[in-house]
A and B are shown apart, each in its own frame.
Chain A
Amino acid sequence: MSTAPEAESHQESEPVKPPLLPSRKKTSPGWWKVFEFFASFGLATVVLFFLFIITWVGTLEQVENGLHVTVREYFESLYAVYWVNGVIPIPLPGGYLLLLLLFLNIVCGGIIRLRKKPQTIGILIAHLSIAFLIVAGAVSFYFKKDGNMALWPGDSSNLFQSFTNWVVEVKELGTDSDVWMIHDSDFKDLEGSKSRVFTNDALPFELKLFGYVRNSELGVADGGSSGGQPVVDGFYLKPSPAAKEDEMNVGGVLCEVLGKDGSKLGESVITFHPSGKVFTFEADGRKFAVEMNRERWEVPFTVRLDKFVHEVYPKTNKPRVFRSEITRTENGIDEPVKISMNEPMRYKGYTFFQASWGPQGAGPNDPKFSQFEVAKNPSDHWPLWSCIAAFIGLALHFSMSLWKFSKRSAKKSSAKSETAAGEETVPPAASQPEP
């Protein structure tokens, strides 16, 4: 009498597996085995575990190495190596690899293989929403442009620049011709003796870049030592310890201009450092300038800062309000807009956030500039939709499970009470044990 309910409730304590399509173990071809691997709970568990580990390690690493380095090393990579006390290397899968595997796992296991029936609708929605969230992240990562625009009151601009990306810009002086831009993704690896030649069919020269330094100062050779760094035109790039926050680093690269016939037309240090100068040279009778800048993008309207309001709580430096009162001009039409913390301006796919102000250390009555973070993100609202869907899916699934559980419990308790009532009705004589 006591074993039957126990066995029943023991089954209840095991979580119910979401119904999956039947396995084809006996006749499974190779592709099915691969599919089963990607659809498996085992892969899900392992991927989630390693995602947890890299998130944890990546959080602790920020203390030592700063945000950008850590993000690049652990989250924007296929693999990473965590050094225990700087001695023991522990290889770990990187964020890219894990998110890709998770996505495949969700699609194969949580969407395709999941048996579609009313009971699994919640799980299906939840998996779809997470897959969509990963897609949103990928779209944002590959297609989002974000940077900053700093304006003093009265200034206007239609350009915003990247926080971290460099670009070597080549432009012909005295003309309106297009600017040739070489992105840092193409020359960041050219440290030490590595070099690469860049060509542009429209220009009568080639550009050889080499000796990239992530954070540098401009050194004057002046007959003295350059610490092994290549010297160009009397200058060299003196490496400085890289700042934890990548936007603080001042990149630099060495440049040699070669004619189409291979002759050297000039050489210079190209750096964003304030003491660096614009490198100019002549080729084929035309004058060109080369300089390093933050990557910049144009917005299809102009923003003028009319007033910047920066309030702090009395007798403290704690910010209470940052607000920029701007005029947005497009096709000659002006429109006043206020941008403040938590109330960005969204217009034509671009979003202007009130990010910061400067210069650092300015007093309450000193003039200040306002700094906007500008972003263009095709997947801007996708996380919100995903969040709503995930909530609906999980809430639906757990509510249904709870309902089923309560129904079973009620049934069980009523069965128990019936049994108890039955026991009570048994005449005392019958319940007497036999001698």
Chain B
Amino acid sequence: MKYRHKFRKSVSILLLALVAVTVAPVFGQDNPEAGIDPNLVDPKILPAEWSEETVRAFEELVVQDERLKPIASYAAVKLLKFRGIKGVHLNLTDGGKRDLTPAAWMLDALFYPEAACQYPIFLVEDRAALDVIGLDLHKKKRERYSFNELAPAREKLNEAAGRYAKIDSKDRNTVQSMVVELANNIADYEYIVRSLDFAREGLPVYRGEDSEGEMERVPASTFLREELVPMVEAVRSYGTIDKMPPRLGEAANEYLGLAQAARGSIDGIHFFPGYDPNGEEWYSCGELLFLTMQRVPDGAADPEFIKHRDWAADRLEQIERLVAAKDDRSEFHKELVAFAAARTTDMAPLLAAAKGADSKEWQRRQARQFTVAPVEVDYHHGKYFFKAWGIFVALLLAIAVTWLSPAAKWSQRLRKLTFFATFIPLGLIVVGVSYRVYIMGRPPVSELYETVPYITFVVISVCLLLDRTLKLPVMLPLACALGALGLFVADKYETIQGADTMKELTAVLRSNFWLTTHVLVVLVGYAAGILAAVMSGIYVVSRAFDVRRKKSEFFRTLSRATYGIICFGLLFSLVGTVLGGIWANYSWGRFWGWDPKENGALMIVLWFLMILHARVGGFIKEFGMHLLSVIGGAVVVFSWFHTNQLGVGLHSYGFTSGVMFAINLAYGTLAALFIVGLITSVIANHYESEEKAARKKARDQQLPDGATSAGA
């Protein structure tokens, strides 16, 4: 009983520590401005709030960004990259607050850039990054800044970023990485806020005969229809813009500047399906301006050019109508719905072609992505993983409460209820993953981010199974703790990456068969390694609190369960690893290429095999198995995340400092557990030999004179 009490106490401490570690940063992230953000925004500059219908209609608008996706996804990724979270929370000077979804923020950024530039959008993790560019705004170390606050230092920022970009990303220090990232983020942001400048400002037209002639501005659509050809012809007649009369040259330059801003390099918002129904690329407003200019024919009017020009002008006009209607919310909504309907009309030929027997693969894929866009918006609104995380934390706290009086009836009922309630977040993970499977039309795991919810799901399921079968009291809180931790890791990983986690796959990965067999199987092995390490961690910590009690039922059951999980992990790791080799053999003609990721999977197999052989051979006992199992956790972390950071091999995704920090934290924790375990095992062995000696002595005393226990 004394031990049980101690055990519960130690587990309670562990639980509370886990909850504290898990909850604190995420609460901090979810409400980062609560009470700490000095970026108060003047409500007078804020545009009126967008209606829910308008935001929803805008969210479902499809754009092309590697794949076709709703603008809600595009905006969410941008905010994640700039701001670290998918949303904007504004504290107003009048004490009010305003929360903006990614789509609502994008609406503000596109249609009210002057207001959006005052929102605290850019997260700077360490003020030292701003010291480098000589900007001191007297804010906290980790703070968010608005575009307007950072704008005065743009030149210095770009110059410093250019310098640091030459350093290999692995060799950059934290401040240098932050400076480069900040400069990139600001450039991206500027492209977004400036992309509709052409519709706000119109395009300049030169009306005079000489350099003093009149300049007036006309809508871009009108410019394309009426002024573009004369302007291009003028440029051609002068040879270059430099040689043109000043006002005319100025007009041509401004045209190019606005087109460039609207095109926005690779980050422009590609709203429009191509002119050619057989083309796959979508276009931004700037590309429409550029492409039309490039097509201006020499000499006689070309009917094909006129058709293309009018096509482009019609689309720019739709944007102009949206910009003109921005202050009248009901009119804006109508225009937005019409804009979306026009895109469906644009896509009609492709949607029809995709259904044809001789359709191309990309047509079918685009048609699918276009039609599932609303489902993707629902997925974002669902926030399934976040909700599951919240429920896991709540359940963990509920279990912690039951430890206060474990024998009480209410406590036992609460525990039972908690067990069944765990299926709710588990179900939410399934729903979230199912959405992703449906949206992308491929198996549940095809990139690193997706491994986290999947492994979390497997780990929780095994925990719940063990809770029922072995009646191990620790499995239920463990399920909730690992569930919360796993989803927290998924969220942090997505934030650090700051990129779309539903990407198109490269050619070699496009095999649903192998993604289903190899990937899903080998990841069960990873899950087993992690779970075994955590259970061994619990064993080690518990034994540290009760170093003399080797023969407790709890320890024996925990050891049996860990041993079983290692066996089950070996089965899946071995088969999954060999399946990976077979995939490689069938795709590239080589079974094994010593690629770091392959090696990582092999290391897990070898480690499991070594534990089992050492245990069966009697070289390690219960404690030894747990110590090796803790190291096994580090082996899984190496294989799971570290191999991707090495910068070599086929699975290298580039070096990410945030990820490396988390990896080192995991290694550190496991190393600490190993050391604690090692010390505890030495002490336990000491006690054990003392006990043995005492037992021997007692037996010897009971034996007749002259006889020894060995002889007996």
Contact = CB atoms under 8 A, between A and B. Distances in A.
Interface string A273-305: 000000000000000000000000000000000
Contact of B64 (A12, A314, A384): A314
A229 interface: no
B420 interface: no
A375 B581 contact: no
B462 interface: no
Contact of A55 (B504, B563, B603, B613): B603
Contacts of B559: 13
Interface in A347-404: 351, 353, 355, 373-375, 377, 380, 383-384, 386-387, 390-391, 394-395, 398, 401-402
Given A41-B619, A342-B508, A12 B560 contact: yes
B21 interface: no
Given A62-B596, A341-B510, A353 B617 contact: no
A339 to B, nearest CB: 11
Interface in A6-63: 6, 9-10, 12-13, 15, 17-18, 40-42, 44-45, 48-49, 51-52, 55-56, 58-60, 62-63
B610 A41 contact: no
B548 interface: no
Nearest to A76: B594
A322 B587 CA distance: 12
Interface size class of B (residues with CB under 8 A): 35 or more
A71 B588 contact: no
A17 B618 CA distance: 9
A55 B601 CA distance: 10
B67 A313 contact: yes
B16 interface: no
A394 B570 contact: yes
B281 A41 contact: no
Contacts of A395: 571
Nearest to A319: B507
A184 to B, nearest CB: 20
B585 A41 contact: no
Given A15-B563, A383-B581, A390-B574, A52 B606 contact: yes
Contacts of A56: 599, 603, 638
Interface of chain A, main secondary structure = helix
Contacts, number: 172
Given A55-B599, A58-B599, A315-B281, A45 B619 contact: yes
B648 interface: yes
A140 B591 contact: yes
A9 B614 contact: no
Contact of A59 (B66, B585, B596): B596
Interface in B598-648: 599-600, 602-603, 606-607, 609-610, 612-619, 622, 638, 643, 646-648
B286 to A, nearest CB: 13
Interface residues on A, range: 35 or more
B613 A315 contact: no
A75 B280 CA distance: 46
B328 interface: no
B592 A137 contact: yes
A304 B567 CA distance: 50
Contacts of B281: 314-315
A217 interface: no
A41 B614 CA distance: 7
B246 interface: no
B514 A342 contact: yes
A181 B586 CA distance: 31
B66 A58 contact: no
A322 B507 contact: yes
A375 B646 contact: no
Given A41-B619, A63-B646, A386 B556 contact: no
B275 to A, nearest CB: 14
A401 B612 CA distance: 14
Contacts of B578: 133, 383, 386-387, 390
A41 B617 contact: yes
Interface in B498-521: 504, 506-508, 510-511, 514
Given A44-B617, A45-B610, A342-B508, A373 B282 contact: no
B633 to A, nearest CB: 15
A342 B510 contact: yes
Contacts of A140: 591
Given A314-B282, A380-B585, A402-B564, A45 B617 contact: yes
Given A13-B560, A59-B643, A62-B648, A42 B592 contact: no
B472 to A, nearest CB: 12
A248 interface: no
A45 B571 contact: no
Contacts of A59: 594, 596, 599-600, 603, 643, 646
A319 B589 CA distance: 19
B507 A320 contact: yes
A315 B594 contact: no
Interface in B261-292: 266, 270, 280-282
A62 B67 contact: no
A185 interface: no
A431 interface: no
Given A42-B617, A52-B607, A384-B582, A342 B511 contact: yes
B386 interface: no
Contacts of B136: none
A15 B575 contact: no
A52 B610 contact: yes
A344 B588 CA distance: 8
A186 B487 CA distance: 57
B128 to A, nearest CB: 28
A134 to B, nearest CB: 12
Nearest to B591: A383
B579 interface: yes
Contact of B582 (A71, A344, A383): A383
Interface in A312-344: 313-316, 318-322, 340-342, 344
A63 B644 CA distance: 12
Contacts of B590: 146, 373, 375
Which of B280, B514, B570 is packed against the most chain A CB atoms within 10 Å?
B280
B441 interface: no
A423 interface: no
Contacts of A386: 578
B294 to A, nearest CB: 16
Interface in B528-552: 551
A137 B617 CA distance: 27
B667 interface: no
A70 interface: yes
A311 interface: yes
A104 interface: no
A67 interface: yes
A70 B594 contact: yes
A405 B594 CA distance: 38
Residue among B506, B508, B581, B585 having the largest count of chain A Cβ atoms under 10 Å: B585
A283 to B, nearest CB: 41
A58 B582 contact: no
Given A44-B617, A342-B510, A390 B556 contact: no
Contacts of A355: 588-589
Nearest to B365: A320
Nearest to B471: A413
Interface in B340-363: 361-362
A320 B504 contact: yes
B568 interface: yes
16 contacts: A10-B556, A15-B616, A40-B617, A41-B613, A41-B618, A45-B619, A59-B603, A67-B649, A320-B506, A373-B588, A373-B589, A374-B589, A383-B582, A387-B578, A398-B567, A402-B564
Given A315-B66, A374-B589, 10 more contacts: A6-B551, A10-B551, A13-B560, A319-B506, A320-B362, A321-B361, A383-B582, A390-B575, A394-B574, A409-B469
In the A-B complex, the 6 residue pairs with the closest CB atoms: A41-B617, A387-B578, A375-B589, A48-B610, A52-B606, A341-B507
